[in-house]
A and B are shown apart, each in its own frame.
Chain A
Protein backbone atom coordinates (compact mmCIF):
# COMPACT_ATOMS: atom_id res chain seq x y z
CA UNK A 1 0.00 0.00 0.00
CA UNK A 2 1.34 3.40 -1.02
CA UNK A 3 1.69 5.53 2.07
CA UNK A 4 3.52 8.13 4.09
CA UNK A 5 4.17 7.16 7.70
CA UNK A 6 5.09 9.37 10.63
CA UNK A 7 6.23 8.56 14.12
CA UNK A 8 5.35 9.27 16.79
CA UNK A 9 1.70 10.19 16.26
CA UNK A 10 1.49 11.98 19.59
CA UNK A 11 4.26 13.47 21.67
CA UNK A 12 4.33 15.54 24.83
CA UNK A 13 7.73 16.92 25.73
CA UNK A 14 9.37 19.67 27.73
CA UNK A 15 11.08 22.83 26.59
CA UNK A 16 14.63 22.26 25.41
CA UNK A 17 14.56 18.48 25.07
CA UNK A 18 15.67 17.54 21.57
CA UNK A 19 13.27 15.44 19.56
CA UNK A 20 12.97 13.89 16.13
CA UNK A 21 9.80 13.13 14.20
CA UNK A 22 10.37 10.51 11.54
CA UNK A 23 8.74 10.43 8.11
CA UNK A 24 8.98 7.67 5.56
CA UNK A 25 7.34 7.10 2.17
CA UNK A 26 7.26 3.94 0.06
CA UNK A 27 6.37 5.53 -3.28
CA UNK A 28 9.91 6.38 -4.40
CA UNK A 29 8.97 10.05 -4.41
CA UNK A 30 11.66 12.64 -4.97
CA UNK A 31 9.94 15.54 -3.24
CA UNK A 32 9.19 15.55 0.49
CA UNK A 33 7.99 18.33 2.72
CA UNK A 34 7.08 19.17 6.30
CA UNK A 35 4.11 21.33 7.26
CA UNK A 36 2.72 22.57 10.51
CA UNK A 37 -0.97 23.19 11.00
CA UNK A 38 -2.30 25.65 13.52
CA UNK A 39 -5.91 26.79 14.01
CA UNK A 40 -6.83 29.57 11.63
CA UNK A 41 -3.47 29.47 9.84
CA UNK A 42 -3.85 26.52 7.52
CA UNK A 43 -0.84 24.47 6.51
CA UNK A 44 2.49 26.24 6.52
CA UNK A 45 5.58 24.73 4.99
CA UNK A 46 8.59 24.27 7.26
CA UNK A 47 11.20 22.59 5.04
CA UNK A 48 11.22 20.69 1.82
CA UNK A 49 13.56 18.38 -0.04
CA UNK A 50 13.83 17.86 -3.77
CA UNK A 51 15.92 14.73 -3.45
CA UNK A 52 18.63 13.06 -1.36
CA UNK A 53 20.94 15.64 0.24
CA UNK A 54 18.90 18.52 -1.27
CA UNK A 55 16.87 20.46 1.28
CA UNK A 56 15.69 24.04 1.61
CA UNK A 57 13.69 26.28 3.91
CA UNK A 58 9.99 26.74 3.58
CA UNK A 59 7.97 29.59 5.04
CA UNK A 60 8.44 28.89 8.78
CA UNK A 61 11.83 27.13 9.22
CA UNK A 62 12.98 28.77 12.47
CA UNK A 63 13.67 26.24 15.22
CA UNK A 64 13.63 23.21 12.91
CA UNK A 65 16.19 21.11 11.07
CA UNK A 66 15.81 18.35 8.50
CA UNK A 67 17.99 15.85 6.73
CA UNK A 68 17.55 13.67 3.64
CA UNK A 69 20.15 10.93 3.67
CA UNK A 70 17.88 8.36 2.03
CA UNK A 71 15.19 8.93 -0.55
CA UNK A 72 12.43 7.38 1.53
CA UNK A 73 13.13 9.18 4.83
CA UNK A 74 12.83 12.84 5.81
CA UNK A 75 13.08 13.37 9.58
CA UNK A 76 12.15 16.63 11.27
CA UNK A 77 14.43 17.64 14.13
CA UNK A 78 13.65 20.10 16.90
CA UNK A 79 16.97 20.78 18.63
CA UNK A 80 15.50 22.82 21.47
CA UNK A 81 11.70 22.75 21.35
CA UNK A 82 9.73 25.68 22.69
CA UNK A 83 6.03 26.00 23.54
CA UNK A 84 5.34 27.96 20.32
CA UNK A 85 6.22 24.79 18.40
CA UNK A 86 3.19 23.05 19.87
CA UNK A 87 1.31 22.13 16.72
CA UNK A 88 0.09 19.40 14.38
CA UNK A 89 2.81 18.36 11.96
CA UNK A 90 2.36 16.70 8.58
CA UNK A 91 4.89 15.14 6.29
CA UNK A 92 4.05 14.98 2.59
CA UNK A 93 5.61 13.57 -0.54
CA UNK A 94 5.15 13.88 -4.28
CA UNK A 95 6.72 12.28 -7.28
CA UNK A 96 7.92 14.35 -10.17
CA UNK A 97 6.09 13.69 -13.40
CA UNK A 98 2.82 12.74 -11.74
CA UNK A 99 0.79 13.46 -14.83
CA UNK A 100 0.36 17.12 -14.01
CA UNK A 101 -1.93 16.79 -11.00
CA UNK A 102 0.76 17.90 -8.53
CA UNK A 103 -0.91 15.65 -5.95
CA UNK A 104 0.80 15.54 -2.59
CA UNK A 105 0.40 12.54 -0.28
CA UNK A 106 0.24 13.36 3.40
CA UNK A 107 1.20 11.31 6.42
CA UNK A 108 -1.27 10.85 9.31
CA UNK A 109 0.15 13.72 11.34
CA UNK A 110 2.08 14.13 14.58
CA UNK A 111 0.50 16.10 17.38
CA UNK A 112 3.27 17.72 19.39
CA UNK A 113 2.85 19.47 22.73
CA UNK A 114 5.79 21.32 24.26
CA UNK A 115 5.34 22.34 27.90
Chain B
Protein backbone atom coordinates (compact mmCIF):
# COMPACT_ATOMS: atom_id res chain seq x y z
CA UNK B 1 0.00 0.00 0.00
CA UNK B 2 0.88 3.64 -0.05
CA UNK B 3 1.12 6.00 2.91
CA UNK B 4 2.13 9.63 3.22
CA UNK B 5 2.69 11.72 6.31
CA UNK B 6 2.63 15.47 6.57
CA UNK B 7 1.90 17.79 9.50
CA UNK B 8 -1.73 18.68 9.95
CA UNK B 9 -1.15 22.37 10.58
CA UNK B 10 1.63 24.93 10.37
CA UNK B 11 1.50 28.59 11.40
CA UNK B 12 3.78 31.43 10.36
CA UNK B 13 3.84 35.21 10.01
CA UNK B 14 3.91 37.32 6.89
CA UNK B 15 7.35 37.61 5.34
CA UNK B 16 8.63 34.46 7.02
CA UNK B 17 9.80 31.18 5.50
CA UNK B 18 7.98 27.93 6.17
CA UNK B 19 8.80 24.35 5.28
CA UNK B 20 6.14 21.64 4.95
CA UNK B 21 7.53 18.13 5.14
CA UNK B 22 6.22 14.98 3.54
CA UNK B 23 7.43 11.44 4.15
CA UNK B 24 6.11 8.54 2.16
CA UNK B 25 6.10 4.78 2.00
CA UNK B 26 5.18 3.52 -1.44
CA UNK B 27 5.98 0.96 -4.05
CA UNK B 28 6.50 1.92 -7.66
CA UNK B 29 7.49 5.49 -6.81
CA UNK B 30 7.92 7.86 -9.73
CA UNK B 31 7.80 11.33 -8.22
CA UNK B 32 6.39 13.76 -5.68
CA UNK B 33 3.90 16.54 -6.41
CA UNK B 34 2.55 19.42 -4.36
CA UNK B 35 -0.89 20.96 -4.65
CA UNK B 36 -2.39 24.03 -3.02
CA UNK B 37 -6.04 24.29 -2.04
CA UNK B 38 -7.72 27.41 -0.69
CA UNK B 39 -10.86 27.01 1.39
CA UNK B 40 -13.79 26.30 -0.91
CA UNK B 41 -11.53 25.91 -3.91
CA UNK B 42 -10.06 23.18 -6.05
CA UNK B 43 -6.54 21.82 -5.69
CA UNK B 44 -4.06 23.52 -7.99
CA UNK B 45 -0.70 22.18 -9.07
CA UNK B 46 2.43 23.75 -7.58
CA UNK B 47 5.37 21.52 -8.37
CA UNK B 48 6.66 18.07 -9.25
CA UNK B 49 9.98 16.40 -8.40
CA UNK B 50 11.03 13.23 -10.14
CA UNK B 51 14.73 13.51 -9.29
CA UNK B 52 16.58 14.29 -6.08
CA UNK B 53 17.21 17.92 -5.41
CA UNK B 54 15.57 21.30 -5.24
CA UNK B 55 13.16 22.76 -7.80
CA UNK B 56 12.47 26.48 -7.53
CA UNK B 57 9.45 28.31 -8.88
CA UNK B 58 9.30 31.88 -7.68
CA UNK B 59 8.66 32.03 -3.94
CA UNK B 60 7.99 28.29 -3.80
CA UNK B 61 10.59 25.53 -3.88
CA UNK B 62 10.19 21.79 -3.60
CA UNK B 63 12.78 19.23 -2.58
CA UNK B 64 12.99 15.47 -2.96
CA UNK B 65 15.26 12.83 -1.50
CA UNK B 66 14.34 9.46 -2.97
CA UNK B 67 16.75 7.58 -0.73
CA UNK B 68 15.08 9.04 2.39
CA UNK B 69 11.51 8.83 0.97
CA UNK B 70 11.17 12.46 1.95
CA UNK B 71 10.31 15.75 0.40
CA UNK B 72 9.36 19.24 1.41
CA UNK B 73 7.71 22.36 0.11
CA UNK B 74 9.43 25.62 1.01
CA UNK B 75 7.46 28.85 0.91
CA UNK B 76 9.42 32.09 1.17
CA UNK B 77 8.32 35.68 1.76
CA UNK B 78 5.00 34.44 3.04
CA UNK B 79 1.90 36.41 2.14
CA UNK B 80 -1.57 36.28 3.64
CA UNK B 81 -2.85 34.74 0.41
CA UNK B 82 -0.60 31.71 1.04
CA UNK B 83 -2.98 30.63 3.81
CA UNK B 84 -4.32 27.40 2.37
CA UNK B 85 -3.99 23.64 2.59
CA UNK B 86 -1.01 22.01 0.93
CA UNK B 87 -1.06 18.41 -0.21
CA UNK B 88 1.85 16.24 -1.16
CA UNK B 89 1.05 13.48 -3.63
CA UNK B 90 3.17 10.60 -4.84
CA UNK B 91 3.08 9.45 -8.42
CA UNK B 92 3.13 5.67 -8.32
CA UNK B 93 2.88 2.84 -10.78
CA UNK B 94 0.50 0.14 -9.61
CA UNK B 95 -0.21 -1.24 -13.06
CA UNK B 96 -1.13 2.26 -14.11
CA UNK B 97 0.44 5.48 -12.94
CA UNK B 98 -1.66 7.48 -10.54
CA UNK B 99 -1.43 10.07 -7.80
CA UNK B 100 -1.91 9.18 -4.13
CA UNK B 101 -2.51 12.21 -1.93
CA UNK B 102 -1.48 12.92 1.63
CA UNK B 103 -3.99 14.25 4.15
CA UNK B 104 -2.86 17.84 3.77
CA UNK B 105 -1.19 20.55 5.83
CA UNK B 106 -3.17 23.63 6.72
CA UNK B 107 -0.95 26.73 6.61
CA UNK B 108 -2.11 29.76 8.57
CA UNK B 109 -0.28 33.00 7.82
CA UNK B 110 -0.81 35.81 10.30
CA UNK B 111 0.03 39.51 9.95
Contact = CB atoms under 8 A, between A and B. Distances in A.
B45 A42 contact: no
Nearest to A41: B103
B66 to A, nearest CB: 16
A106 B104 CA distance: 16
B50 A42 contact: no
23 contacts: A42-B87, A42-B101, A42-B102, A42-B104, A43-B101, A45-B99, A45-B100, A48-B96, A48-B98, A100-B48, A101-B45, A102-B30, A102-B31, A102-B33, A102-B91, A102-B99, A104-B43, A104-B45, A105-B45, A106-B42, A106-B43, A107-B42, A108-B41
Contact of A106 (B31, B44, B97): B44
Contact of B48 (A43, A102, A105): A102
Contacts of B8: 40
Contact of A90 (B42, B89, B97, B104): B42
Q: At the interface, is chain B mostly helix, strand, loop or mixed?
A: strand
Nearest to A92: B43
Contact of A104 (B31, B99, B103): B99
A62 interface: no
Interface of A: 33, 35, 40-45, 48, 50, 56, 58-59, 90, 100-109
B47 to A, nearest CB: 8
A56 B8 CA distance: 31
B40 to A, nearest CB: 8
Nearest to A43: B101
Nearest to B46: A103
